[in-house]
Chains A and B, each alone.
Chain A
Amino acid sequence: MTAPSLVLRTTLEQATPALRAASARLWGPPGLTRRYVAYLGAMHGVLRASVPLMELAAQHAGPGPLGGYLRRHILEERGHDGWILADLAAAGVTPDLTAAPPPAVARLVGPQYYWILHHDPVALLGYIAVLEGNAPAPGLAPRIVARTGLPPGAVRTVRDHAALDVAHADEVLALLDALPPTAAQLHTIVLSALSTVGALGDLYRYLSDREDNHG
């Protein structure tokens, strides 16, 4: 039997080069400072859903390896949305937390609630695999500091996720092989992962276009 991680990895490898190109557009000049601040605001909307999504999925997964993994990972990810607020503060920005997040954020996160509540919590593994597997590169944080003049304290989230998420991506792929999912569950994971790639690309495009249009 083909390892489930190989199925997911091989499928995603056909889509992620284009996703990486979309993210590279995000980090180009001009307007990087404005775009980075907008990126942090949007990503706060994404990260504040990470722990609640895992809590919901763990509740629906019950005991067993999936629930165990999620409960462990909750401890590792808790509070990271606060890191973004601290980054914004270091950049001199006070976000309006009462403002509605961009629809592109809801389109990225929202499907996971559907799949967890109405289908199978295992879907969340596809979402996690894509987000942890496409983390910022290690060189990004120093580049942002060098090109924007922002203080190093404004890039903690990007810097630390570049360091942490390689191991986290490996961990979720190892869990896939350890479960292992049924064929139907693996199909759900693949659809969830591909859906995440598409929505993430749309979010990058939203942020790039929006800031490009500011001139």
Chain B
Amino acid sequence: MAESRYTLDELEAYGLDVRRLPVEQQDVLRALTPAELALLVEIRSRLDEVTPDVQAHSEIAGAALF
């Protein structure tokens, strides 16, 4: 496992929902690089701004095509 850079408290302060995750996944997020975390936080903020009150119903969510 890569070195931890962030505590769970710090990740929560960035808005990440980490407490409910298994330890293995918490460790992944604690080891994000500063560039990865910054991009993740920026994207979450941008997307939340656009869709603050839209629920993603599983029967219709998804639109990506490759």
Contacts from A to B (Cβ < 8 Å) = 1-2, 6-7, 10-11, 13-15, 17-28, 39, 43, 46-47, 50, 77, 80, 127-128, 130-137, 139-140, 143, 157-158, 161-162, 165, 168, 183, 187, 190-191, 194-195, 197-198, 200-202, 204-205
Give 29 CB contacts A-B under 8 Å: A2-B27, A6-B28, A10-B29, A11-B28, A11-B29, A11-B32, A14-B17, A15-B44, A15-B47, A20-B56, A21-B47, A23-B62, A24-B61, A25-B51, A46-B66, A80-B65, A127-B66, A131-B65, A132-B64, A136-B65, A137-B59, A137-B60, A140-B59, A140-B60, A140-B62, A161-B65, A162-B62, A198-B47, A201-B46
Report B25 CB to chain A, min CB distance, Å. Answer: 4
| A132 pairs with B66, CB closer than 8 A | yes
A49, closest chain B residue (CB): B66
Given contacts A187-B36, A198-B42, contact A7 B58 (CB under 8 A): no
**CA of A195 to CA of B43, assembled, Å:** 8
Given contacts A187-B36, A191-B36, contact A165 B17 (CB under 8 A): no
* Contact yes or no, A135 B65, CB < 8 A: yes
Q: Across the interface, name the chain B residue whose C-beta is closest to A199.
A: B43
Closest partner residue, chain A, to B63 (CB atom):
A23
Contacts known (A2-B28, A14-B40, A191-B39); A47 close to B65, Cβ less than 8 A: yes
Smallest Cβ-Cβ distance to A136: which chain B residue: B62
Task: Give the chain B neighbours of A19 by CB distance below 8 A.
Answer: 47
Contacts of B61 on A, CB cut-off 8 Å?
20-21, 23-24, 137
Residue of A nearest to B53 (CB): A21
Interface centre among B2, B16, B27, B54 (most CB of A within 10 A): B54
Contacts of A190 in B (CB 8 A): 36
Q: Which residues of chain A have C-beta atoms less than 8 A from B62's C-beta? A: 20, 23, 134-137, 140, 162
Question: What chain B residues lie within 8 Å of A135 (beta carbons)?
Answer: 62, 64-65
Q: Give a binary string over B11-42; 1 marks a CB under 8 Å from any A CB, 0 the rest.
A: 00000110001001101110011011001101
| B66 contacts A183, C-beta separation under 8 Å | no
Say which residue of A18, A43, A157, A187 sits within 8 Å of B47 (CB atoms).
A18
Asked if residues A22 and B59 are in contact (CB atoms below 8 Å), the reply is no
Q: Given the interface contacts A20-B56, A23-B63, does A1 sit within 8 Å of B1 by beta carbon?
A: yes
Q: Which residues of B contact A7 (CB under 8 A)?
A: 28
Given contacts A6-B24, A22-B54, 19 further A-B contacts (CB under 8 A): A10-B21, A14-B44, A15-B44, A21-B51, A23-B56, A24-B55, A24-B61, A25-B50, A26-B63, A47-B66, A80-B65, A140-B62, A157-B65, A161-B65, A187-B35, A191-B39, A194-B36, A198-B46, A198-B47
